A and B are shown apart, each in its own frame.
Chain A
């Protein structure tokens, strides 16, 4: 038996995951079908949406300095939840990526990250001045 808290929505259902007499996984405590899906995923293939930042570069390739109003970091996120155990590796990959301004929200910075079907995209449109 394992207790989980469903994080699919703000309700935060307290789930109990158990196996029944046939060895089938059984979820209780959920108030909707998403709770059961969440429990399954969390047990066998936990995933998280990853949000991080990449270094911003000005159009001339320089880093935005303190004279500029522009941010030094560009927020990015995985398009969908990403396998939890691979997150440290993904973060390492993102640390090496720079984003040239201007940039439009949704621009892919890392396609099919680490061999998954998940892309990493820019989460904020930023002008270049």
Chain B
């Protein structure tokens, strides 16, 4: 078994992993990116649509363009990568972290590191997760799988399509399928509002006249060998209106019903996860409950913009570098998700430096107010023209705003 040693190992070579690795390299640490696919870039490589990089590069790029800008930086700096390599296990061994991974060319490798950055991304929820009954024919795919098949493999998974869930990938796929000569008959969303970004509703559904059924549930899938249709039931006042159920004929069902951080490795390593995000619990430095192991990007919580992912990943990389150099946060307070906030990330605030937070709203509202409270007293209040669960909120807090904090104070962020 091959043995290697680095200051830091980044698990996952997508946007988050590359951004974290660049930051570690900038701070003078040796770093290895371990990536299971044959190329860097992660899921961005199949996201060939535009809309990436407005914040990061101040221009609108496609996924591969965004990824390759980072990849070129990685190559130019000679940052080491191990491609087609799957991490099987993370362990604590002799005060260091040991990463066990395997690749066809290297066999098993044991890599020692002082710090690890988890950047494994997320996976799509499936039909089973949302428990749609019916038959089990061919023709039921997650939107991401369909995206891969069309955009990279060049295969069309079906011609007459219904998309379940109005998540961004599903919306993007509605346009992609339409542009690829398929007919998208409907998008079915259980919630009374769309789960994806507004611009995607406009550009991917409205442009093609694809109906979006809000407050509707897919209650059955028909077909023996291949999908033949679905049953859709309206929801009114929280109840299924069975007498109003209708059927849509289709040969393909694409699922875009949410993403879940991919934390199998973290869980097996004994890292504590938290239910609100399905990602690791982290402190103000994005460090998990396993000292020296940091998390960022979609493995930590599901983001809607890659620009936020790389911002967070840079912080994780910088914090991992600081950890290696011996930095430990001394004054941290707990940050609580207050009314109408699903979660706040991270869950600790550092009273020695500025802090970036990301939050998810639980509500759809115009003219909302975001409040930061220290032990109940409002220390910051910000007006927001519009909030909705699909658009992540961001907030920067500086220590001065919390100068009144005591040892056991709590910071709460609320949405009113």
Contact = CB atoms under 8 A, between A and B. Distances in A.
Interface of A: 4-5, 7, 9-13, 31, 48-49, 51-53, 55, 69, 71-73, 75, 77, 84, 87, 91, 105, 123-125
B50 interface: yes
Contact of A75 (B60, B64, B197, B198): B64
A10 B305 contact: yes
Interface of B: 38, 45, 48-50, 54, 60, 62, 64-65, 68, 150-154, 179, 197-199, 201-203, 207, 304-305, 385-386, 391
Contacts of A69: 38
B198 A49 contact: no
5 nearest interchain CB pairs?
Answer: A12-B198, A7-B199, A124-B64, A75-B48, A72-B154
A7 B60 contact: no
Contact of A84 (B50, B152, B207): B207
A49 B64 contact: no
A37 B266 CA distance: 47
Contact of A48 (B64, B197, B198, B203): B203
B305 A51 contact: no
A49 to B, nearest CB: 5
Contacts of B207: 48, 84
A7 B202 contact: yes
9 contacts: A5-B199, A31-B385, A49-B50, A55-B154, A69-B38, A75-B48, A75-B151, A91-B179, A123-B62
Nearest to B65: A123
Contacts of B151: 53, 73, 75
A51 B50 CA distance: 7
Nearest to A127: B39
A12 B153 contact: no
B153 A71 contact: yes
B152 A10 contact: no
A122 to B, nearest CB: 9
Contacts of A71: 152-154
Contact of B386 (A4, A12, A49): A12
A116 B104 CA distance: 48
A69 B38 CA distance: 8
Contacts of B203: 7, 48
A65 B23 CA distance: 38
A105 B65 contact: yes
A51 B62 contact: yes
B205 to A, nearest CB: 11
A105 to B, nearest CB: 6
A52 B151 CA distance: 8
B48 A123 contact: yes
Given A7-B203, A105-B68, 18 more contacts: A4-B202, A5-B198, A10-B304, A10-B305, A11-B386, A12-B199, A12-B386, A12-B391, A48-B203, A49-B50, A51-B49, A52-B48, A53-B151, A75-B62, A77-B48, A77-B50, A84-B207, A123-B48
Nearest to B37: A69
A21 B49 CA distance: 41
Given A53-B48, A72-B154, A10 B199 contact: yes
B72 to A, nearest CB: 8
